[in-house]
Amino acid sequence: MSLKLYNTMSRSLEEFHPVANNHVRMYTCGPTVYDHAHIGNFRAYMFEDLLRRYLKYCGYEVTHVMNLTDVDDKTIRACIAEDLPLKEYTSTYIKAFFEDLDRLGIERAEHYPAATDHIPEMIELIEKLQEKGFAYQSEDGSVYFSIGKFKDYGKLSHLDLSGMQSGARVAQDEYEKDNAADFALWKAWDEKDGDVAWDSPWGRGRPGWHIECSAMSMRYLGETFDIHMGGVDNMFPHHEDEIAQSECATGKMFAKYWLHCAHLIVDGKKMSKSLNNFYTLRDILDKGYSGREIRFVLISTHYRQPLNFTFEVLDSARASLARLDEFIRRLKELASENATPEDLPAWARKAEDGFKAGLDNDLNISGAFAAVFDMVTAGNRAMDSAEVTGDSARAILTLLHSWDSALGILEPPPDEADEETLRMVEMRQQARRNKDWGEADRLRDELAARGWVVKDTPEGPKLRRS
Residues forming the site for Zn ion (CB under 5 A): 29, 213
The alpha carbon torsion through 407, 412, 414, 417 (nearest 10 deg) reads 160
CA-CA distance, 41 to 329, in Å (whole number)? 34
Give the residue among 179, 191, 214 at the shortest CA–CA distance from 140. 191
Between 209 and 369, whose beta carbon lies closer to Zn ion?
A: 209
Min. distance of Cβ 29 from Zn ion in angstroms? 3
Give the residue among 429, 435, 433, 438 at the shortest CA–CA distance from 456. 429
CA-CA distance, 449 to 442, in Å (whole number)? 11
Min. distance of Cβ 69 from Zn ion in angstroms? 7
Min. distance of Cβ 212 from Zn ion in angstroms? 7
Min. distance of Cβ 238 from Zn ion in angstroms? 5
Between 29 and 123, whose beta carbon lies closer to Zn ion?
A: 29
Min. distance of Cβ 285 from Zn ion in angstroms? 27
Between 94 and 383, whose beta carbon lies closer to Zn ion?
A: 94
Quote the radius of gyration of the chain (alpha carbons, Å): 25
Min. distance of Cβ 255 from Zn ion in angstroms? 11
Please name the residues in contact with 318: beta carbons below 8 A apart, sequence gap of 6 or more: 289, 293, 419
Min. distance of Cβ 372 from Zn ion in angstroms? 33
Give the residue among 165, 198, 199 at the shortest CA–CA distance from 179. 165
Between 140 and 174, whose beta carbon lies closer to Zn ion?
A: 174
Provide the strand spans (E) within 163-277: 169-170, 182-188, 205-207, 225-231, 255-261, 264-266, 269-270
Listed in sequence order, the DSSP H helices in 251-389 are 281-286, 291-300, 311-334, 346-360, 365-384
Min. distance of Cβ 271 from Zn ion in angstroms? 21
Burial of 460 (0-12, 13-18, 19+ CB in 10 A): exposed
- In Å, how far from its chain's centre is CA 402? 21
Between 36 and 228, whose beta carbon lies closer to Zn ion?
A: 228
Between 180 and 211, whose beta carbon lies closer to Zn ion?
A: 211
Between 213 and 227, whose beta carbon lies closer to Zn ion?
A: 213
Between 257 and 296, whose beta carbon lies closer to Zn ion?
A: 257
- In Å, how far from its chain's centre is CA 133? 37
Min. distance of Cβ 68 from Zn ion in angstroms? 11
Between 106 and 164, whose beta carbon lies closer to Zn ion?
A: 106
CA-CA distance, 145 to 221, in Å (whole number)? 23
